[in-house]
Amino acid sequence: MFGSSTTPIATTSPPYEVDQCQGVLRVYSDISIVRSSKPSFNVPVHDNGSNYCFRLALDLQALIISPNCRLAPENRLLAAIENGYMAVKWLTLQAQAKSDPWLSDVANFSRVFVSGDSTEGNIAHNLAVRLGAGSDELDPVRMRWYVLLAPFFDGTVLTRSKAEEPKDAFLNWELIDRLSIPIGETTDHPLVNPFGPVSPNLESKDLDPMLVVVEGSDLLQDRAEDYARKLKGWGKKVEYAEFEGKQHGFFTIDPISPDSDQLMLIIRRFITEN
Protein backbone atom coordinates (compact mmCIF):
# COMPACT_ATOMS: atom_id res chain seq x y z
CA MET A 1 0.00 0.00 0.00
CA PHE A 2 1.31 3.47 -0.75
CA GLY A 3 1.67 6.09 1.96
CA SER A 4 -0.65 9.08 1.69
CA SER A 5 -1.00 10.65 5.11
CA THR A 6 1.85 9.27 7.20
CA THR A 7 5.48 10.30 7.06
CA PRO A 8 7.91 7.41 6.47
CA ILE A 9 10.49 6.80 9.15
CA ALA A 10 14.02 7.44 7.90
CA THR A 11 15.88 4.18 8.24
CA THR A 12 18.70 2.22 6.71
CA SER A 13 17.35 -1.07 8.03
CA PRO A 14 16.50 -3.73 5.46
CA PRO A 15 12.94 -4.97 4.91
CA TYR A 16 11.89 -7.57 7.43
CA GLU A 17 9.25 -10.24 7.74
CA VAL A 18 6.51 -8.95 9.98
CA ASP A 19 4.32 -12.02 10.24
CA GLN A 20 4.31 -15.52 8.78
CA CYS A 21 0.54 -15.85 9.29
CA GLN A 22 0.76 -19.55 10.17
CA GLY A 23 2.80 -20.33 7.07
CA VAL A 24 0.06 -19.32 4.63
CA LEU A 25 1.02 -15.68 4.08
CA ARG A 26 4.17 -13.66 4.59
CA VAL A 27 3.85 -9.94 5.28
CA TYR A 28 6.81 -7.66 4.55
CA SER A 29 7.49 -4.11 5.68
CA ASP A 30 10.28 -1.62 5.00
CA ILE A 31 9.84 -0.26 8.56
CA SER A 32 8.28 2.94 7.24
CA ILE A 33 4.82 1.67 8.21
CA VAL A 34 3.55 3.61 11.22
CA ARG A 35 0.19 3.53 12.94
CA SER A 36 -2.27 6.29 12.13
CA SER A 37 -5.96 6.96 12.56
CA LYS A 38 -6.60 6.48 8.82
CA PRO A 39 -5.61 3.69 6.43
CA SER A 40 -2.74 4.95 4.33
CA PHE A 41 -0.95 2.13 2.52
CA ASN A 42 -1.85 0.34 -0.69
CA VAL A 43 -1.79 -3.46 -0.51
CA PRO A 44 -0.03 -5.43 -3.27
CA VAL A 45 -0.81 -9.15 -3.17
CA HIS A 46 2.16 -10.88 -4.79
CA ASP A 47 2.69 -14.59 -5.28
CA ASN A 48 6.25 -15.73 -4.57
CA GLY A 49 9.53 -13.85 -5.21
CA SER A 50 10.82 -12.40 -1.92
CA ASN A 51 13.42 -10.17 -3.63
CA TYR A 52 10.70 -8.55 -5.72
CA CYS A 53 8.54 -8.17 -2.59
CA PHE A 54 11.37 -6.36 -0.82
CA ARG A 55 11.72 -3.93 -3.71
CA LEU A 56 7.98 -3.24 -3.78
CA ALA A 57 7.93 -2.54 -0.04
CA LEU A 58 10.90 -0.19 -0.30
CA ASP A 59 10.17 1.62 -3.56
CA LEU A 60 6.39 1.86 -3.39
CA GLN A 61 6.01 2.36 0.38
CA ALA A 62 3.69 -0.62 0.30
CA LEU A 63 2.57 -3.40 2.58
CA ILE A 64 3.05 -6.73 0.79
CA ILE A 65 0.91 -9.84 1.19
CA SER A 66 2.83 -12.84 -0.17
CA PRO A 67 0.82 -16.09 -0.23
CA ASN A 68 2.31 -19.55 -0.59
CA CYS A 69 0.60 -21.68 -3.23
CA ARG A 70 0.30 -25.44 -3.46
CA LEU A 71 2.71 -26.73 -6.07
CA ALA A 72 2.70 -29.43 -8.74
CA PRO A 73 3.05 -32.32 -9.15
CA GLU A 74 1.39 -33.05 -5.80
CA ASN A 75 -1.21 -30.39 -6.53
CA ARG A 76 -2.03 -29.80 -10.18
CA LEU A 77 -3.94 -26.84 -11.53
CA LEU A 78 -6.24 -25.37 -10.42
CA ALA A 79 -4.83 -25.70 -6.88
CA ALA A 80 -2.49 -22.70 -7.16
CA ILE A 81 -5.25 -20.55 -8.70
CA GLU A 82 -7.52 -21.37 -5.76
CA ASN A 83 -4.75 -20.47 -3.30
CA GLY A 84 -4.44 -17.06 -4.92
CA TYR A 85 -8.19 -16.58 -4.59
CA MET A 86 -8.08 -17.71 -0.95
CA ALA A 87 -5.41 -15.08 -0.28
CA VAL A 88 -7.57 -12.18 -1.48
CA LYS A 89 -10.57 -13.61 0.38
CA TRP A 90 -8.40 -13.74 3.52
CA LEU A 91 -7.62 -10.07 2.98
CA THR A 92 -11.35 -9.36 2.72
CA LEU A 93 -11.94 -11.04 6.07
CA GLN A 94 -9.21 -8.90 7.65
CA ALA A 95 -10.80 -5.75 6.25
CA GLN A 96 -14.27 -6.72 7.47
CA ALA A 97 -13.32 -7.90 10.95
CA LYS A 98 -10.53 -5.38 11.64
CA SER A 99 -9.26 -7.96 14.10
CA ASP A 100 -5.57 -7.26 13.52
CA PRO A 101 -4.79 -3.60 14.32
CA TRP A 102 -1.32 -3.89 12.81
CA LEU A 103 -2.93 -4.51 9.44
CA SER A 104 -6.25 -2.67 9.69
CA ASP A 105 -4.69 0.52 11.12
CA VAL A 106 -2.33 1.01 8.19
CA ALA A 107 -3.91 -0.78 5.25
CA ASN A 108 -5.91 1.02 2.59
CA PHE A 109 -8.10 -1.89 1.56
CA SER A 110 -9.61 0.13 -1.26
CA ARG A 111 -6.25 0.30 -3.06
CA VAL A 112 -5.09 -3.28 -3.59
CA PHE A 113 -3.22 -4.68 -6.57
CA VAL A 114 -2.24 -8.22 -7.52
CA SER A 115 1.14 -8.99 -9.01
CA GLY A 116 2.84 -12.20 -10.02
CA ASP A 117 5.96 -13.38 -11.84
CA SER A 118 5.88 -16.22 -14.39
CA THR A 119 3.41 -18.87 -13.18
CA GLU A 120 2.22 -16.38 -10.57
CA GLY A 121 1.58 -13.94 -13.41
CA ASN A 122 -0.79 -16.58 -14.72
CA ILE A 123 -2.49 -16.61 -11.32
CA ALA A 124 -2.85 -12.82 -11.47
CA HIS A 125 -4.54 -13.12 -14.88
CA ASN A 126 -6.96 -15.77 -13.66
CA LEU A 127 -7.83 -13.68 -10.60
CA ALA A 128 -8.46 -10.64 -12.79
CA VAL A 129 -10.87 -12.65 -14.94
CA ARG A 130 -12.57 -14.31 -11.98
CA LEU A 131 -13.07 -11.11 -9.97
CA GLY A 132 -13.83 -8.79 -12.89
CA ALA A 133 -13.68 -5.00 -12.82
CA GLY A 134 -14.50 -3.56 -9.41
CA SER A 135 -14.11 -6.89 -7.55
CA ASP A 136 -17.51 -6.34 -5.90
CA GLU A 137 -17.47 -9.70 -4.11
CA LEU A 138 -14.44 -8.60 -2.07
CA ASP A 139 -16.06 -5.51 -0.53
CA PRO A 140 -14.62 -3.56 1.30
CA VAL A 141 -11.43 -4.68 -0.48
CA ARG A 142 -11.09 -3.08 -3.90
CA MET A 143 -8.73 -4.47 -6.51
CA ARG A 144 -7.34 -1.57 -8.52
CA TRP A 145 -4.60 -2.99 -10.72
CA TYR A 146 -2.93 -6.19 -11.90
CA VAL A 147 0.78 -6.41 -12.69
CA LEU A 148 1.70 -9.49 -14.74
CA LEU A 149 5.45 -10.12 -14.92
CA ALA A 150 6.38 -12.54 -17.72
CA PRO A 151 3.05 -14.35 -17.29
CA PHE A 152 3.31 -18.08 -17.95
CA PHE A 153 0.88 -18.73 -20.80
CA ASP A 154 1.07 -21.66 -23.19
CA GLY A 155 -0.87 -23.34 -25.96
CA THR A 156 -0.71 -26.12 -28.51
CA VAL A 157 0.40 -23.73 -31.27
CA LEU A 158 4.18 -23.23 -31.16
CA THR A 159 5.27 -19.58 -30.93
CA ARG A 160 8.42 -18.09 -32.44
CA SER A 161 10.01 -17.18 -29.10
CA LYS A 162 9.39 -20.66 -27.74
CA ALA A 163 10.74 -22.36 -30.88
CA GLU A 164 13.89 -20.23 -31.19
CA GLU A 165 15.04 -20.15 -27.58
CA PRO A 166 17.30 -23.07 -26.59
CA LYS A 167 15.94 -25.55 -24.08
CA ASP A 168 17.42 -25.60 -20.60
CA ALA A 169 16.99 -27.59 -17.43
CA PHE A 170 15.43 -24.65 -15.58
CA LEU A 171 12.56 -24.18 -18.03
CA ASN A 172 11.62 -27.61 -19.35
CA TRP A 173 8.25 -27.07 -21.00
CA GLU A 174 7.41 -30.71 -21.56
CA LEU A 175 8.10 -31.59 -17.94
CA ILE A 176 6.19 -28.58 -16.62
CA ASP A 177 3.16 -29.41 -18.75
CA ARG A 178 3.20 -33.08 -17.77
CA LEU A 179 3.37 -32.34 -14.05
CA SER A 180 1.08 -29.33 -13.70
CA ILE A 181 -1.80 -29.48 -16.19
CA PRO A 182 -4.87 -31.52 -15.21
CA ILE A 183 -4.50 -35.11 -16.35
CA GLY A 184 -5.89 -35.64 -19.83
CA GLU A 185 -5.80 -31.93 -20.74
CA THR A 186 -3.58 -30.06 -23.21
CA THR A 187 -1.85 -26.69 -23.02
CA ASP A 188 -5.01 -25.15 -24.48
CA HIS A 189 -6.65 -25.62 -21.06
CA PRO A 190 -8.39 -22.33 -20.05
CA LEU A 191 -6.10 -21.89 -17.04
CA VAL A 192 -3.03 -22.07 -19.28
CA ASN A 193 -4.11 -20.51 -22.58
CA PRO A 194 -6.23 -17.33 -22.17
CA PHE A 195 -7.30 -17.59 -25.81
CA GLY A 196 -7.79 -21.35 -26.08
CA PRO A 197 -10.81 -22.90 -27.81
CA VAL A 198 -12.77 -23.26 -24.54
CA SER A 199 -11.32 -20.25 -22.68
CA PRO A 200 -13.62 -17.46 -21.40
CA ASN A 201 -14.45 -14.69 -23.86
CA LEU A 202 -12.20 -11.90 -22.63
CA GLU A 203 -13.47 -9.43 -25.22
CA SER A 204 -16.78 -9.14 -23.37
CA LYS A 205 -15.21 -9.23 -19.89
CA ASP A 206 -14.80 -6.03 -17.87
CA LEU A 207 -11.30 -6.01 -16.38
CA ASP A 208 -9.35 -3.72 -14.10
CA PRO A 209 -6.21 -1.99 -15.48
CA MET A 210 -3.29 -4.31 -16.24
CA LEU A 211 0.44 -3.88 -16.70
CA VAL A 212 2.13 -6.69 -18.65
CA VAL A 213 5.93 -6.87 -18.40
CA VAL A 214 8.07 -9.29 -20.39
CA GLU A 215 11.75 -9.92 -21.05
CA GLY A 216 12.98 -9.71 -24.64
CA SER A 217 14.95 -12.98 -24.42
CA ASP A 218 12.17 -15.00 -22.82
CA LEU A 219 10.38 -18.02 -24.24
CA LEU A 220 7.17 -16.49 -22.88
CA GLN A 221 7.58 -13.22 -24.77
CA ASP A 222 5.30 -13.86 -27.75
CA ARG A 223 2.31 -15.06 -25.77
CA ALA A 224 2.60 -12.23 -23.24
CA GLU A 225 2.87 -9.65 -26.02
CA ASP A 226 -0.08 -11.22 -27.86
CA TYR A 227 -2.08 -11.20 -24.61
CA ALA A 228 -1.50 -7.49 -24.05
CA ARG A 229 -2.12 -6.60 -27.70
CA LYS A 230 -5.43 -8.45 -27.90
CA LEU A 231 -6.78 -7.05 -24.65
CA LYS A 232 -5.78 -3.53 -25.63
CA GLY A 233 -7.41 -4.03 -29.04
CA TRP A 234 -10.63 -4.92 -27.24
CA GLY A 235 -10.56 -1.64 -25.36
CA LYS A 236 -9.12 -2.89 -22.08
CA LYS A 237 -6.84 -0.65 -20.02
CA VAL A 238 -3.57 -2.50 -20.65
CA GLU A 239 0.03 -1.31 -20.72
CA TYR A 240 2.93 -3.36 -22.10
CA ALA A 241 6.61 -3.02 -21.20
CA GLU A 242 9.46 -5.07 -22.66
CA PHE A 243 13.02 -5.31 -21.36
CA GLU A 244 15.09 -6.03 -24.45
CA GLY A 245 17.75 -8.71 -24.07
CA LYS A 246 16.79 -9.65 -20.51
CA GLN A 247 16.15 -13.21 -19.42
CA HIS A 248 13.14 -14.63 -17.63
CA GLY A 249 12.83 -13.33 -14.05
CA PHE A 250 15.79 -10.93 -14.18
CA PHE A 251 14.34 -8.77 -11.39
CA THR A 252 14.10 -11.66 -8.92
CA ILE A 253 17.65 -12.79 -9.70
CA ASP A 254 19.15 -9.30 -9.47
CA PRO A 255 16.70 -6.96 -7.71
CA ILE A 256 19.31 -4.22 -7.26
CA SER A 257 20.17 -3.30 -10.85
CA PRO A 258 19.40 -0.48 -13.31
CA ASP A 259 16.81 -2.65 -15.06
CA SER A 260 15.12 -3.56 -11.79
CA ASP A 261 15.12 0.12 -10.85
CA GLN A 262 13.43 0.88 -14.17
CA LEU A 263 10.83 -1.80 -13.50
CA MET A 264 9.94 -0.18 -10.18
CA LEU A 265 9.55 3.18 -11.92
CA ILE A 266 7.26 1.63 -14.53
CA ILE A 267 5.08 -0.01 -11.87
CA ARG A 268 4.88 3.18 -9.82
CA ARG A 269 3.93 5.26 -12.86
CA PHE A 270 1.31 2.71 -13.93
CA ILE A 271 -0.31 2.73 -10.50
CA THR A 272 -0.16 6.52 -10.18
CA GLU A 273 -1.73 7.10 -13.60
CA ASN A 274 -4.49 4.53 -13.11
* CA pair distance 154, 132, nearest whole angstrom: 22
Q: Which residue is catalytic, options 29, 218, 222, 260?
A: 218
* CA pair distance 112, 2, nearest whole angstrom: 10
* CA pair distance 179, 90, nearest whole angstrom: 28
DSSP state of 112: E
Cis peptide before 14 (omega within 30 of 0): no
**Closest C-alpha to 146, from 166, 165, 164, 131:** 131
Answer yes or no: 218 catalytic.
yes
Residues 2 and 32 sit within 8 Å (Cβ to Cβ): no
- State the alpha helices, DSSP H only, in the chain: 50-60, 79-97, 101-104, 119-131, 160-164, 173-180, 221-233, 250-253, 258-273
**Closest C-alpha to 52, from 101, 4, 15:** 15
Q: Which amino acid is at 175?
A: L
Q: Which residue is catalytic, options 29, 40, 115, 118?
A: 118
DSSP string computed for 182-198 = PTT--TTSTTT-TTSTT
Residue 206 CB partners (closer than 8 Å, separation 6+): 132, 133, 134
Backbone angles phi, psi at 9, to 5 degrees: -80, 130
Answer yes or no: 118 catalytic.
yes
Backbone angles phi, psi at 52, to 5 degrees: -65, -40
Catalytically active residues, by annotation: 118, 218
